[in-house]
Amino acid sequence: MIIGNVVKEVLSYKRGQLQQKLSSPEAFVNSTFGQALQNETIKDMKATTQLSKVEEGQKVVGETSVKNAEPLQVAQQEFTRRFADPNSTGKDTWELTGKYNIQSIRSSNEGKYADVIQQVSDTYGIPKTLIQKMIEVESDFNPNTVSSAGAMGLMQLMPANVKEQGINNPFSPAESIEGGVKELTGYLKKYNGDLVLALAAYNAGPGNVKKYGGVPPFQETKNYIKKILNIDVSK
């Protein structure tokens, strides 16, 4: 236990040094690693462009695509991937983390599908903590989960939702996470940022939310909201 804590502290310190040294994409792109990354990226772009033109029967002339390369953009993506704060809550369009007590996931699930969750959080403005907790409650991060009702994948999407969201493979972590978050986003818009109602709709369907004028009196739905937000909707 003590050794583990010491290792964590050392890694945290080293990470802090790197973040301070490479405190911005501009600094990163000018670093030794950043320069090497740009060189490799440009080589790849040259090879891809030439291969594409050869396949099309065109003569390879010049290196226009290389001139149009944007090394800073490449560095920004790599900088974010390598040094983004893992404790960041991601984008939060509806300020949900300030309004609700989103529960933490178990330590054993930390880091799972982190890249996908970060990307989806940035795209739809849903905090990472909420996405993570929903996945844990829905499937415990098992992408092959199928419920007795037929819900599939990490976000337990029903066949109708899979079709509606245009998902090709509901067992694909990336497709499932984006599909589930996209669905939740629609409910947040529908209920003006009310996360309790949005989660109720996600679990029991918007038809039942409308029918009962709020959270449906289903024990499963009540438990679902309790696990994610620690709110007792029975009161």
pLDDT tens, 123-136? 999 999 999 999 99
pLDDT for the residue numbered 144: 98
pLDDT recorded at residue 90: 73
Structural domain spans, the chain:
2-83, 96-229
pLDDT score of 235: 77
Residue 197 above 90 pLDDT?
Answer: yes
Range name among 75-89, 115-129, 211-225 with the lowest pLDDT average: 75-89
Q: What percent of the chain has pLDDT above 90? A: 60
Return the pLDDT at 26: 53
Q: Tell me the average pLDDT of the chain.
A: 79
Q: How confident is the model at residue 62 (pLDDT cuts 50, 70, 90)?
A: very low
pLDDT-based confidence at residue 36 (cuts at 50, 70, 90)? low
pLDDT of the residue at 114 = 97
Reply yes or no on whether the pLDDT at 5 is more than 70: no
CA–CA–CA angle 201, 183, 97 (5° rounding): 80
- Rounded to an integer, the average pLDDT of 113-140 is 97
Q: Do 173 and 144 touch, CB atoms closer than 8 A?
A: no
d(CA 102, CA 137): 12
pLDDT at site 50: 47
Residue 11 CB partners (closer than 8 Å, separation 6+): none
9 catalytic per annotation: no
> Each residue of 178-203: b (16+ CB within 10 Å) or e?
bbbbbbbbbbbeebeebbbbbbbbbb
What is the topology classification, in CATH, of domain 96-229?
Answer: Lysozyme (1.10.530)
- CA 168 to CA 165: how far, in whole Å? 9
The CA distance from 128 to 135, in Å, is 11
Which one of the listed residues 9, 26, 136, 138 is annotated catalytic?
138
pLDDT at 40: 53
What is the model's pLDDT at position 61?
38
pLDDT digits (tens, 9 = 90+) for 158-191: 999 999 999 999 999 999 999 999 999 999 999 9
Q: What is the pLDDT of residue 68?
A: 44
